[in-house]
Structure 1
Amino acid sequence: MTSLVQFSMIMKELKMEGFHVTRWTDRWLEGILQNKKWIEEGKLNYRETVTEGFENMFNAFVDMLKGGNFGKAVVKF
């Protein structure tokens, strides 16, 4: 299997590169501020699943573990 992936990458002249957030810790605040700006400008959208009520917390947690949420899972009291 690995050789098939390598062959495809070579034939298609693809490049693969990893990304580690910790490499950029010195620019963390810059990234937060830029993302905030893009959200405010409507250039960056996010989705979250909001569950209302403390009594629904357990079900929201189980649903999150099963992959039933989109984006961040939030419980509002």
Structure 2
Amino acid sequence: MFSRIWFICTNYAKDFPEAIEQLAGWVKDGQLKYTETIEEGFDKLPEAFLGLFSGRNSGKMIVKA
């Protein structure tokens, strides 16, 4: 059995601006990487949505309309 540590993000709302600035700097410097799956076309919306549940996407799923 493992323990989970839970926290409520809104408890740290006052720190959000500083965190966003720091994270953006890390992305800009290449120290923090992210992935996206981008689908082209509004007609791909149902397919992209279902892909979220099958693990077809990597990172954030984006549909460009």
Q: Which has the larger radius of gyration?
A: 1
Counterpart in the other structure of 1:40: 28
Normalising by structure 1, we get a TM-score of 0.70
The more displaced of 22-31 and 39-48 is 22-31
1:72 matched to 2:53: no
Q: Which amino acid aligns with 1:24?
A: Y
The structure, 1 or 2, with the larger RCO (C-alpha pairs under 8 Å, 6+ apart) is 2
Structure 2 matches for 1:1-77, cutoff 5 A?
5=1, 17-77=5-65
Question: How far does the alpha carbon of each residue in 1:19-66 deviate from its partner, in whole angstroms, 9 at most, with x for none?
Answer: 432221110111111111110011100011111111111100111122
- RMSD of aligned Cα (Å): 2.0
How many equivalent pairs are there?
65
Which ranges of structure 1 fall in alignment gaps of 5 or more residues? 10-15
Normalising by structure 2, we get a TM-score of 0.81
Q: Which contiguous aligned blocks of 4+ residues in structure 1 show a shift greater than 2 angstroms?
A: 16-20
Structure 1 residues 55 and 28, CA gap change in structure 2 (3 angstroms):
same
